[in-house]
């Protein structure tokens, strides 16, 4: 099928790093973007690709692969607004159907997946597809002009939900780890390091990272999944799919503390409405006692810390969040986050810290790769 006259893939990837750790993370994301652009360009009759970025070097490399680039920067003193920028691009380019992808989304997406999305997108005129109900970073929709009839979101998390509420018929993308995994944190980058089907540029940059202790802790954590009757704790914005996957494929016992799903899409974090039971327990017991108790009944913990941090009602910047993910507690400025992280990495059991992706697509990928390494075919939730 020829998509060129009808459909465009729009990829947003930008931002200015404020420290060396954030810069490293963004470098990985940019290599993922280029690998995904190459996949799309190899589709026969493939769509136009529009990369929206404020990185001149990324734009030049993307152009060399055949993408068209749009500048995402804002005038001095201005503020970037996702929805306004996407609407402007759609209207100015006269786009009819759009597959939107965040820069760090789906680093393991297959070319066949992209073709399937595009085929479904051109099959009807009133459709929205997304990879997550409450916090999507891949959204395909038609007509593209529907963007003019919604309250424009400041971030991509709620784009799919708003289009569905407008009346477009919602369809879900394949419920697979490669579709639900994206790069939001350094923990996600480490997960990617355990995967085989990564693009050549991504693979090259991962080989340069020196996060050995964090990778060792993650390696220990995932191996415990194969231990008969291992007690596995999932905490944070945990959805039912990852729980089903673990129950179908491993003989472990899964304890789930699922809290604040949709936290970002519903703006509960920015409005100070987040409440976490685990966060309350941390405050009452203190992090040392908290992880002592965890270690008394659990063999491994995978924790989405963003719920905990939002519960604190204190500013936690990316520097502190990223260093917490990697266990670099010495670098953390916020005293509460610093002590929390120090106690987590010194716990008697492996504790893996990260964001939402860790307890969804990230853990799913880690588990899938582990099964395939053992010569087993993963059973997938329906």
Distance of alpha carbon 213 from alpha carbon 16, whole angstroms: 27
Q: Report, as an integer, the average pLDDT of 24-31.
A: 94
* 171: three-class secondary structure by DSSP: strand
Whether residues 160 and 22 share a domain: the answer is yes
pTM, two decimals, is 0.88
Residue 378 lies in a domain: no
Q: Report, as an integer, the average pLDDT of 24-41.
A: 95
Conformational region of residue 24, where left means phi above 0, alpha means psi within -120 to 50, and beta covers everything else? alpha
Confidence of residue 69 (pLDDT cuts 50, 70, 90): very high
Whether residues 121 and 207 share a domain: the answer is no
Residue 364 lies in a domain: yes
- Average pLDDT over the chain, rounded to an integer: 92
Whether residues 239 and 364 share a domain: the answer is yes
Whether residues 164 and 261 share a domain: the answer is no
For 215-260, what is each residue's pLDDT tens digit? 999 999 999 999 999 999 999 999 998 999 999 999 999 999 999 9
For 124-169, what is each residue's pLDDT tens digit? 889 999 987 777 889 999 999 999 999 999 989 889 999 999 999 9
Confidence of residue 72 (pLDDT cuts 50, 70, 90): confident
Distance of alpha carbon 302 from alpha carbon 356, whole angstroms: 10
Question: Of 296, 287, 300, which Cα lies nearest the Cα of 366?
Answer: 300
Q: What percent of the chain is modeled with pLDDT above 90?
A: 79
Confidence of residue 264 (pLDDT cuts 50, 70, 90): confident
Judge whether residue 4 has pLDDT over 80.
no
Whether residues 169 and 194 share a domain: the answer is no
Whether residues 24 and 141 share a domain: the answer is yes
Residue 382 lies in a domain: no
Residue 381 lies in a domain: no
Judge whether residue 76 has pLDDT over 70.
no
Q: Report, as an integer, the average pLDDT of 308-322.
A: 94
Distance of alpha carbon 359 from alpha carbon 321, whole angstroms: 16
Q: How many domains, the chain? A: 2
Q: Dihedrals φ, ψ of 342, to 5°? A: -60, -45
Confidence of residue 79 (pLDDT cuts 50, 70, 90): confident
Domain termination site, one of 174, 206, 221: 174
Q: Report, as an integer, the average pLDDT of 334-344.
A: 97
Residue 211 lies in a domain: yes
Whether residues 88 and 211 share a domain: the answer is no
pLDDT of residue 136: 85
Q: Report, as an integer, the average pLDDT of 115-119.
A: 93
Whether residues 217 and 357 share a domain: the answer is yes
What is the residue range of 79's domain? 7-174
Distance of alpha carbon 295 from alpha carbon 348, whole angstroms: 6
pLDDT of residue 381: 81
Judge whether residue 266 has pLDDT over 90.
no
Whether residues 160 and 301 share a domain: the answer is no
* 25: three-class secondary structure by DSSP: helix
How far is CA 251 from each of CA 16, 110, 248, rounded to the nearest angstrom? Answer: 44, 30, 8
Domain termination site, one of 124, 142, 174: 174
pLDDT of residue 279: 96
Whether residues 253 and 366 share a domain: the answer is yes
Whether residues 13 and 147 share a domain: the answer is yes
pLDDT of residue 2: 59
Residue 379 lies in a domain: no
Residue 24 belongs to domain with CATH number: 3.90.550.10
Judge whether residue 77 has pLDDT over 80.
no
Confidence of residue 1 (pLDDT cuts 50, 70, 90): low
Domain termination site, one of 174, 209, 231: 174
CA angle 117, 378, 380 (to 5 degrees): 50
Confidence of residue 280 (pLDDT cuts 50, 70, 90): very high
Structural Rg of the chain based on CA atoms: 21
Residue 179 lies in a domain: no
Residue 1 lies in a domain: no
Whether residues 234 and 336 share a domain: the answer is yes
Listed in sequence order, the DSSP H helices in the chain are 20-41, 56-64, 82-93, 111-121, 159-166, 177-180, 186-192, 200-206, 212-224, 240-249, 277-285, 287-297, 305-311, 318-326, 335-345, 361-373
Confidence of residue 184 (pLDDT cuts 50, 70, 90): confident
Conformational region of residue 153, where left means phi above 0, alpha means psi within -120 to 50, and beta covers everything else? beta
Q: Dihedrals φ, ψ of 290, to 5°? A: -55, -50
For 194-207, what is each residue's pLDDT tens digit? 998 899 999 999 99
């Amino acid at each position: 099928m020829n998509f060129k006259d009808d459909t465009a893939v729009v990829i947003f990837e930008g931002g200015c790093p404020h420290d060396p750790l954030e810069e490293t993370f963004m470098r990985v994301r940019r290599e993922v973007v280029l690998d995904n652009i190459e996949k799309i360009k190899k589709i026969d009759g493939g769509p136009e690709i529009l990369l929206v970025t404020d990185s001149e070097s990324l734009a030049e490399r993307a152009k060399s692969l055949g993408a068209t680039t749009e500048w995402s920067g804002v005038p001095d003193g201005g503020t970037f607004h996702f929805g306004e920028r996407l609407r402007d691009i759609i209207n100015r380019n006269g786009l009819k159907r759009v597959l939107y992808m965040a820069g760090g989304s789906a680093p393991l997406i297959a070319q066949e997946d992209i073709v399937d999305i595009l085929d479904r997108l051109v099959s009807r005129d009133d459709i929205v597809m997304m990879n997550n109900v409450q916090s999507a970073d891949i959204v395909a929709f038609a007509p593209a002009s529907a963007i003019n009839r919604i309250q424009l979101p400041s971030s991509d998390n709620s784009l799919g939900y708003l289009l569905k509420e407008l009346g477009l018929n919602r369809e879900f993308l394949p419920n697979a780890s490669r579709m639900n995994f994206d790069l939001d944190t350094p923990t996600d980058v480490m997960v990617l390091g355990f995967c085989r089907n990564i693009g050549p540029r991504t693979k090259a940059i991962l080989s340069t990272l020196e996060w050995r202790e964090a990778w060792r802790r993650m390696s220990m954590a995932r191996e415990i999944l194969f231990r008969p009757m291992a007690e596995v704790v999932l905490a944070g914005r945990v959805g039912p799919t990852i729980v089903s996957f673990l129950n179908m494929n491993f003989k472990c016992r899964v304890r789930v503390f699922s809290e604040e799903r949709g936290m970002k899409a519903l703006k509960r974090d920015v409005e100070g409405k987040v409440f976490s039971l685990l966060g309350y327990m941390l405050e009452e017991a203190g992090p040392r006692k908290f992880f002592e108790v965890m270690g008394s009944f659990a063999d491994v913990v995978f924790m989405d810390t963003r719920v905990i941090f939002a519960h604190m009602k204190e500013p936690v910047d990316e520097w502190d969040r990223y260093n917490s993910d990697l266990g670099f507690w010495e670098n953390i400025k916020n005293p509460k986050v610093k002590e929390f992280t120090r106690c987590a990495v010194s716990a008697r059991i492996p504790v893996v810290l990260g964001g939402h992706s860790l307890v969804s697509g990230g853990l799913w990928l880690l588990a899938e790769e582990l099964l395939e390494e053992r010569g087993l075919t993963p059973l997938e939730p329906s």
